[in-house]
Amino acid sequence: MLTVAARRQAIPRAVRFVSAWSAVPQGPPDPILGITEAFKADKDPKKINLGVGAYRDDNGKPYVLPSVKKAEEIMAAAKGDKEYLPITGLADFTSAAAKLAYGADSAALKEGRVAVTQSISGTGALRIGGAFLARHYPHSKTIYLPVPSWGNHTPIFRDSGLEVKGYRYFDKKTVGLDFEGLIEDLKNAPEKSIVLLHACAHNPTGVDPTPEQWKKISDEKQLFPFFDMAYQGFASGNTTRDAFALRYFVEQGHQVVLAQSFAKNMGLYGERVGAFSVVTASPEEKARVDSQLKIVIRPMYSNPPIHGARVAGTILNDGQLYAQWEGEVKGMADRIIGMRDTLYNKLTNDYKTPGEWGHIKSQIGMFSFTGLKPEQTKALAEKAHIYMTGDGRISMAGLNAHNLDYFAESVSAVVKGNL
C-alpha cells in the first residue's frame, strides 16, 4: 500500500493545485487594436490603416511638433530635476492649461473660482472627474453620453461609479447631427442630470453643433455639463473657436467640469498630459474642491508625470513658442481639412460615387463617419487592404497625398458593388 507521501507524489502538480485565475473569462478584444493587428499582418504594399487615432504627416509618419522639440531643448538647458510633482501636478502647466481652455478674460479664472489638477491625459481627467462626481455631486449619479461617443467613455464612467445612459446625437440617415432628438432627450432627462458634451471635433462622428445650436443646448440649465475637450486647436485650427461651447456655457452661469488632453493638439500621445478642472462659486469653495480632488487622486496614482507637463507648460508660457505652436496645430488641422476637400472631390467628381458625400467636408477634426456599412468596411479590408472600424469611422489623419486616390477609388468601387 502507498504511503500518504507516495500518493501525493503520484498526483500531478497541475491536478493538486488549481490556479487562482482559472475562472477568469477571456475579455473581448479591443476593436481598434484588432484593426492595427490585422493591418500589421497584411503584406500588401497598398494597405492603409484608418483606425488609429493619432496624427500622421503627409508621408504617413508620426509627427513631433518643432515647438515640442524646442521646448525640450529649453528644458534640457535648464537641467531640471526629477523630483515628485505635487498631487495636482505642475502649477505652471495647470494654470496655463486652464487659461487656454477658459480664455485669458474668463471671469471664473480672474475671480479664482476654477479648481484644476494635472491628469494622465484626457482619459485620466475623465476618470478623476467621474470619481469626483460620483463622490460629491449631490443631485445625480447618472451621466448621459451622446450616441455614439468615444468607446472608452462608458467603461471610464461605469468604473467611476456612475450609471451611464445615452442621448440622441448622430442621425445615420443624414450622416449629421440629430439636433431635435438631442434637445428632446436632454429635456426629458431628470433635472440636474450630468451630461457629457464633446467641446469640439466629436469623436467618433466629427459632427459638431453650430454656435447657435450650442446656445440652445446651454438653455437646458437644469442639466450639469461635463465637457470633454481633446481637440482644442486641432479641430478648426483656431484654439478660440474650438473653445466656444465651453466658454459660452461658463459665461451663461453653468458650473461646468472639464477634461482636457494635450495628446492630439501637441502630439504628446505617449507623454500622457491632461488636466481636469471644476468651475466653482467662490475661492473658498474652490479650495474645498481642490482638497477633495487630491483625496481622489492620491490613491489612484499619487502624483502625475513631470516631463510632458513641462513640455506643454513651456510652450504655453512662452509667447514666441506659443505662437509657433499655434501655427503648427493650425497646419495639422489644415492638412486634415484639405484631405476632406480632396476626398469629397474625388468621390463626387472623379469617381461619380453614388450617394451624398457632403458630410465628408462638413464634419470636423480627426475622425469622419463615412456612412459605409459593416459589409462594405469588411470588403474594403479583405479586398482592398483598407482598415477601419466596422461602423465606417475613419481617421482622416491616415490619408495623405500618396494613398488618398486609391482610397477614394476603392470606396467608390465598394459602394457601386464592384470591388
Yes or no: say if 388 and 394 are a contact pair by the CB < 8 Å rule: yes
- Which of the residues 185, 208, 228, 242 is marked catalytic? 228
- Choosing from 70, 264, 286, 346, which is the catalytic residue? 264
Instruction: Say which residues have a Cβ less than 8 Å from residue 355's Cβ, sequence separation at least 6.
Output: 371, 415
Task: Judge whether 264 counts as a catalytic residue.
Answer: yes
Q: Distance between CA 312 and CA 122 in Å, rounded? A: 14
Is residue 43 flagged as an active site residue?
no
Amino acid identity of 88? T
Asked whether the beta carbons of 225 and 198 are under 8 A apart, the reply is: no
Q: Annotated catalytic residue: which of 150, 208, 242, 346?
A: 150
Is-catalytic flag, 150?
yes
CA distance 67 to 146: 34
3-state secondary structure of 308: helix
Helix boundaries (H) for 177-262: 179-188, 211-218, 239-242, 244-251
120: its cell numbers: 494622465
Three-state DSSP state, 56: strand
CA distance 394 to 91: 37
- C-beta separation of 71 from 199 below 8 A: no
Question: How many CB atoms neighbour CB 401 within 10 A?
Answer: 13
- One-letter amino acid identity for 221? K
Sign of dihedral through CA atoms 150, 156, 157, 163? positive
Find out whether 235 and 333 touch, Cβ atoms under 8 Å. yes
CA distance 377 to 394: 10
The angle subtended at Cα 256 by Cα 254 and Cα 262, nearest 5°, is 140
Q: Parallel, antiparallel, or unpaired for β 176-177 and 194-198?
A: unpaired
**Number of residues written out for the chain:** 419
Name the residues annotated as catalytic: 150, 228, 264
